[in-house]
């Protein structure tokens, strides 16, 4: 009988085996698989950035039901006003999580219920505080109402904290961090009334760097990615990336908000730096936020080269080829980049390659 990865993960989280023992079991399994006969069923390749998103088709089935139920609930509770409607959706999301998250431990429904809960609390609090922004206010649209933004963010942060204490869904930490960003933006807007437009990009970038640092703290505390801390780090990286990339490009490279020929190379340079950082920390999610901007940059360069009529398909072709190339060469590139770093520093990064562990062991 083959020992599944899920069994190893649960055994590690419960303290039955140590992370080092779990890693040795994985290495043994890979060794046995490499020496198996051609008739044997080989295990699927292990993903460096595993994400417990769907445990089965039941997750998708339940998620469809949640979307239908909560959407209908919002329709029938609209008579309560915006604040009442969103408060009802938030309450229903919590009650549904009591079964599908706490009892059934379903991954995708738990994520959806958490996102709906926190978003509903934010909108309900904004509406209760007198927000005039229609339907679903965002951080930027509420920046002209700084007190409302800060208080709504504070309510969402408190709700996310209670939710994590009750259900322990990994994405909750990222939701709380997003609420904290809303609080910071609201406080800055309150201190500098009328100047938030000029300060919004630096503020968001600083917040993004702070979220990235928090994500790295979780990543470094679980370098072999065997516990739920790696899931927490994944969602934090997914939040940090747009907070860093968007203000960097729109605030400094595209100050007028539109791409140009002269900004193509700086955008590609930012994308290249993101790629190096993503390889170092072994997080492909960090590159996702820069893909759209890289596509604009490729299109600008292609137009300058005289292929204006086919700039969009050609840019998509180049971008797709680049992503596929990075995917195919990810592990060799990472080994090469980490080999340039001091062994002690490389070993502290998430998922250090085996040859680095061997190199440190032989030098000690």
Q: For 228-267, what is each residue's pLDDT tens digit?
A: 888 899 999 999 988 888 888 876 666 665 666 667 778 8
On whether the CB atoms of residues 350 and 281 are closer than 8 A, the answer is: yes
Predicted confidence at residue 48, as pLDDT, reads 58
Give residues with Cβ within 8 angstroms of 259, minimum separation 6: 267, 293, 296, 297, 300
Residue 188, SS3 per DSSP? helix
Predicted confidence at residue 362, as pLDDT, reads 40
Cβ neighbours of 94 (radius 10 Å): 21
Residues of the chain scoring pLDDT < 70? 1-6, 27, 29-52, 131-144, 193-196, 198, 251-262, 301, 303-312, 351-364
Looking at residue 2, the DSSP 8-state letter turns out to be P
Cβ neighbours of 327 (radius 10 Å): 9
252's tokens = 């400094």
Helix axes 330-339, 311-328, angle to 10 degrees: 70
Predicted confidence at residue 167, as pLDDT, reads 94
Predicted confidence at residue 43, as pLDDT, reads 45
- Rounded to 10 degrees, what is the CA torsion of 110, 114, 117, 119? -140
Predicted confidence at residue 360, as pLDDT, reads 41
The reply to whether the predicted model has a pTM over 0.85 is: no
The closest of 363, 364, 360, 361 to 338, measured between CA atoms, is: 360
Q: Where are the domains of the chain?
A: 1-34
On whether the CB atoms of residues 175 and 153 are closer than 8 A, the answer is: no
On whether the CB atoms of residues 240 and 206 are closer than 8 A, the answer is: no
Predicted confidence at residue 162, as pLDDT, reads 97
Residue 270, SS3 per DSSP? helix
**CA–CA separation, 50 and 304 (whole Å):** 40
């Amino acid at each position: 009988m083959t020992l599944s990865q899920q069994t190893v993960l649960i055994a590690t989280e419960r303290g039955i085996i140590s992370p080092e023992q779990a890693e040795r079991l994985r290495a043994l399994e890979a060794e046995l698989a490499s020496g198996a006969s051609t008739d044997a069923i080989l295990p699927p390749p292990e993903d460096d950035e595993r994400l417990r998103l769907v445990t089965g088709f039941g997750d998708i089935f339940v998620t469809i039901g949640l979307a239908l139920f909560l959407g209908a609930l919002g329709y029938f509770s609209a008579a309560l006003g915006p604040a009442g409607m969103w408060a009802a959706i938030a309450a229903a999301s919590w009650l549904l999580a009591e079964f599908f998250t706490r009892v059934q431990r379903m991954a995708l429904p738990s994520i959806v219920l958490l996102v709906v809960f926190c978003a509903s609390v934010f909108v309900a609090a904004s509406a209760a505080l007198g927000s005039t922004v229609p339907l679903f206010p965002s951080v930027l649209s509420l920046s002209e109402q700084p007190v409302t933004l800060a208080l709504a963010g504070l309510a969402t942060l408190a709700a996310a904290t209670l939710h994590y204490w009750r259900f322990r869904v990994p994405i909750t930490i990222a939701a709380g961090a997003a609420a904290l960003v809303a609080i910071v933006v609201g406080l800055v807007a309150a201190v500098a009334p009328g100047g938030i437009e000029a300060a919004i990009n630096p503020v968001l970038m600083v917040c993004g760097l702070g979220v990235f640092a928090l994500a790295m703290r979780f990543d470094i505390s679980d370098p072999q990615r065997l516990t739920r801390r790696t899931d927490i780090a994944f969602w934090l990286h997914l939040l940090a990336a747009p907070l860093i990339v968007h203000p960097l490009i729109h605030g400094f490279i595209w100050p007028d908000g539109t791409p140009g020929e002269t900004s193509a190379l700086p955008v590609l340079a930012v994308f290249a730096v993101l790629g190096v950082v993503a390889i170092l920390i072994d997080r492909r999610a960090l590159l996702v936020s820069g893909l759209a901007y890289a596509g604009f940059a490729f299109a600008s360069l292609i137009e300058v080269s005289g292929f204006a009529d086919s700039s969009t398909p050609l840019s998509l072709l180049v971008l797709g080829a680049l992503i596929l190339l990075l995917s195919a060469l990810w592990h060799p590139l990472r080994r090469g980049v980490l080999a340039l770093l001091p062994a002690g520093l490389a070993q502290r990064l998430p998922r250090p390659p085996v040859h680095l562990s061997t190199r440190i062991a032989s030098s000690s």
